[in-house]
Amino acid sequence: MSVDEKYDAACELLYRLDPTKVKTHLQNLIALEPEIAEGLLSSIDIPLTIKKDTDANNKEFLCCDYNRDIDSHRSPWSNQYFPELSAEDLKESPFPSEPLRELEVACNNSFELYRDLYYEGGYTSTYLWDVDESTDFAGVILFKKAESDDSKWDSIHVISATHDEEGMEVTYNVTTTVILHLENLSKEQQLSLSGNLTRENSKTVKLQNVSTVEQLVPAHSSSLGSMIEDIESKLRSMLEIVYFEKTLDIYNVLRERNDDSTKLQKEQHSELIENFQKL
Amino acid sequence: MSEFEKIVRDIVFDSPPEEISLVYDNLQVLSDGQSKQQIASIIQEFNEKHRVPAAKGEERYLVSEYNKSGSKYFDPVNKVLFAVDHITREASDIEEYTSEDATQVQSDLYDELSKYVSNFFPDTAVFNVFKIPESDQYAIIVVSNKKSLGDFWTGYWLSEYVYDVDGDTISGEVSVDAHYFEDGNVRFKSTASLESAQTDSPIVSIKQFENEFEKNLINKFQYMNETQFKGLRRRLPVTRAKINWGQGIGNYRLGRDAAQGA
């Protein structure tokens, strides 16, 4: 079997197995076939972790594979890696170019505001990186809210922004995954609802009256802002339907009441339909 | 246990019960088709533990360690002996089972259980009563499994109890496992235990316990939706309007900053 076939089989398995154990399964699958490690680690989303930026009053920032270098993560606040990397390693570490860093700072500021309005708490971090020495860029916008071990939300938006040749318009592509974990463990009954949904979106925006870098920053940050706001609103509704309606629908076909009162109702109902059809 | 066996076991035992044959296919690819027998025997163990039904036409039979006889399984109430393909879950090679008659207690429990299951479960649900070897105990089992892979879901209900004839006590557990996987992977699991209780009518006790399970389940769903889920992310900001991302963005103040008068 080729490495590609094994990679596909591993991805399929990760879409079947218990999402609360995704980290263990990821490690296991990599142990079975080390060659699929890189592909799996960059395509399978796992819950975000939190670190503190000691150069920015211990403000928390979110960590994932996209802001990682060796075992350190770059903070969007001070633009430094934590734990600190050696001068030697740091030479190779990725940082956004100066104009892109400016946009990164602006996005972090506006998403802080968004986080406050929608999450009323939690954490956010945005990381951007340059693409091919052009004005195009890519990045990831992250949110995490955990009320306790019983309810946790992680949203991961992987974005790319591509300009057309004339520089008149820009197309944003966004792949969003929300990982939502809810559980209710009481002595008499345990219940858990856990997993993730992924959706892709894209939008093309005209760049009107935008000619300087100073104008590009607010143009990009507000386009990304409204796009993320729309996507999260839609996904939140989908999550609500899947978690609280679809799963209960499945339960209701597993155990369905056929006792006399419902049988009677069904009979009356079909009788009613028959009578209507006769009319 | 080899590292390979441990990993396969972790994967198989974490699978949605109705998706085992697909998991088997993926494991075949990952192991270059080298370990068919080993993977199949772990799946057999999984099927027995989950009392998975094997089908032959309309007939459906449960498999467990209680009704195993060599490489085959028996159904003492319906008097059949059958073989099972654990990957496809097909029953075959069906013979009449003559070695042992069902006891009176066993037949009575079976008849009562049959009435309960027909009232509270779909026609496809499978149930049985097995005598637990070398004891005065019976295992009472109900399985209801459904799937629609084209609509991206599978579901599994298993409830199992031990009825002790001498002590007139019953204990057991219900577990529900549902999987929804359209553009994602969402798993819903719930379990509850019935602690050993005195009973003069085991099936009535089971019915009460399972109705209670269902009532609690629906209450918990409601609490999770209205309290836990809503506490994570608002549908809209307190202002009930979407954010004005244009030039007006500077007019918003972080709640925390505003509170501090920053």
| Stretch among A265-269, B44-48, B83-87 having the lowest mean pLDDT | A265-269
Taking CA–CA distances from A33, the nearest residue in chain B reads B30
The CATH number of the domain holding residue B211 is 3.90.1150.210
pLDDT confidence of A187, banded at 50, 70, 90? Answer: confident
Question: Considering only CB atoms, which chain A residues are within 8 Å of B192?
Answer: 188-190
Residue A168 banded pLDDT, cuts 50, 70, 90 = confident
Cβ–Cβ below 8 Å for B119 and A236: no
The pLDDT score that the predictor gives to residue A263 is 57
Q: With contacts defined as CB-CB under 8 Å, which chain A residues touch B190?
A: 189-192
User: In this predicted model, which residue has the larger pLDDT, A277 or A180?
Assistant: A180
pLDDT (0 to 100) of residue A134:
81
Residue B251 lies in a domain: no
Measured between beta carbons, the chain B residues lying within 8 angstroms of A254 are 121-122, 144-146, 155-157, 176, 178
Summarize pLDDT for B184-195 with one digit per residue, the tens: 999 999 999 999
Residues of B in contact with A5 (CB under 8 A): 29
Per-residue pLDDT at B261: 43
Interval A245-276: pLDDT, tens? 999 999 999 998 776 566 556 566 666 666 66
Domain membership flag for residue B206? yes
Across residues A198-212, what is the average pLDDT? 87
B residues 221-240 near A, CB within 8 Å? 221, 223-225, 228-229, 231-235, 237-239
Domain of B227, in residue numbers: 102-232
Residue holding tokens 């006792």?
Answer: A259
pLDDT the model gives residue B256: 47
Phi, psi for residue B211 in degrees, rounded to 5: -65, -40
Q: How far does A190 lie from chain B, in Å, by closest CA?
A: 5
* Lowest-confidence region among A128-137, B155-164, B206-215: A128-137
Which pLDDT value is given to residue B136?
A: 94
Q: Is the peptide bond before A218 cis (omega within 30 degrees of 0)?
A: no
In this structure, is residue B38 part of a structural domain? Answer: no
Q: What is the pLDDT of residue B252?
A: 64
- The residue of A253, A258, A264 whose CB has the most chain B CBs within 10 angstroms, and thus the best one to mutate to test that interface, is A253
Say if CB B109 and CB B203 are below 8 A apart: yes
| CA distance to A138, B49, B187, per residue, from B155 (Å) | 39, 16, 10
Determine, yes or no, domain membership for B120: yes
Average pLDDT over residues B118-145: 96
Return the pLDDT at A214. Answer: 75
Q: Does residue B15 sit at the A interface (CB-CB below 8 Å)?
A: yes
Looking at residue A189, its pLDDT comes to 94
Asked, for residue B163, whether it belongs to a domain, the answer is yes
Q: Residues of B with CB below 8 A from A198's CB?
A: 183-184
CB A6 to CB B29 under 8 A?
A: yes
DSSP of chain B: --HHHHHHHHHHHTS-GGGHHHHHHHHHHHTTT--HHHHHHHHHHHHHHTT-EEEETTEEEE--GGGEETTEEEETTTTEEEEEETTTTEEEEEEE--S-PPPHHHHHHHHHHHHHHHHHS-TT-EEEEEEPTTSSEEEEEEEEEEEEGGGTEEEEEEEEEEEETTTTEEEEEEEEEEEE-TTEEEEEEEEEEEEEEE-S-HHHHHHHHHHHHHHHHHHHHHHIIIIIITTTS-SS-TTSS----SGGGGG---HHHHHTT-
Give the closest-approach CA distance of A279 to chain B in angstroms: 33
**B201 neighbors B30 (Cβ within 8 angstroms):** no
Residues in chain A: 279
Confidence band for B262, pLDDT divided at 50, 70 and 90: very low
Chain B, window 152-211: residues with a beta carbon less than 8 angstroms from a chain A beta carbon: 153-157, 176, 178-192, 210
B35 in contact with A at a CB cutoff of 8 Å? Answer: no
Residue B240's contacts (CB-CB under 8 Å, 6 or more residues apart) are none
| pLDDT tens per residue across span A81-105 | 999 999 999 999 999 999 999 999 9
Rounded distance between C-alpha atoms, residue B10 and residue B5, angstroms = 9
What local confidence, expressed as pLDDT, does residue A78 receive? 97
* Least confident interval from A16-30, A212-226, A239-253, B72-86: A212-226
* CB spacing of A225 vs B7 below 8 angstroms: no
C-alpha B85/C-alpha B63 separation (Å) is 11
Classify residue B182: in a domain, yes or no: yes
pLDDT at B119 over 80: yes
Examine residue B60 and state whether it is found in any structural domain, yes or no: no
Provide the pLDDT confidence category of residue A208 given band limits of 50, 70 and 90: confident
Phi, psi of B14 (to 5 degrees): -105, 0
Q: What is the pLDDT of residue A261?
A: 60
Q: How confident is the model at residue B254 (pLDDT cuts 50, 70, 90)?
A: low
Total structural domains in chain B?
1
Q: What is the mean pLDDT of residues A45-58?
A: 96
In a domain, B160, yes or no: yes
Residue A135: its pLDDT value, please? Answer: 85
CB-based contact A74:A81 (threshold 8 Å): yes
* Residue that has been written with the tokens 């143009």 in this structure: A219
Residue B46 · residue B20 · CB < 8 Å: yes
Q: Taking Cα atoms as reference points, which of A163, A103, A108 lies closest to residue A141?
A: A108
Out of B182, B217, B252, name the one closest to residue A191 (CB): B217
Q: What is the mean pLDDT of chain B?
A: 92
Tell me what percent of the residues of chain A surpass a pLDDT of 70: 92
Q: CB atoms < 10 A from the CB of B183, how many?
A: 14
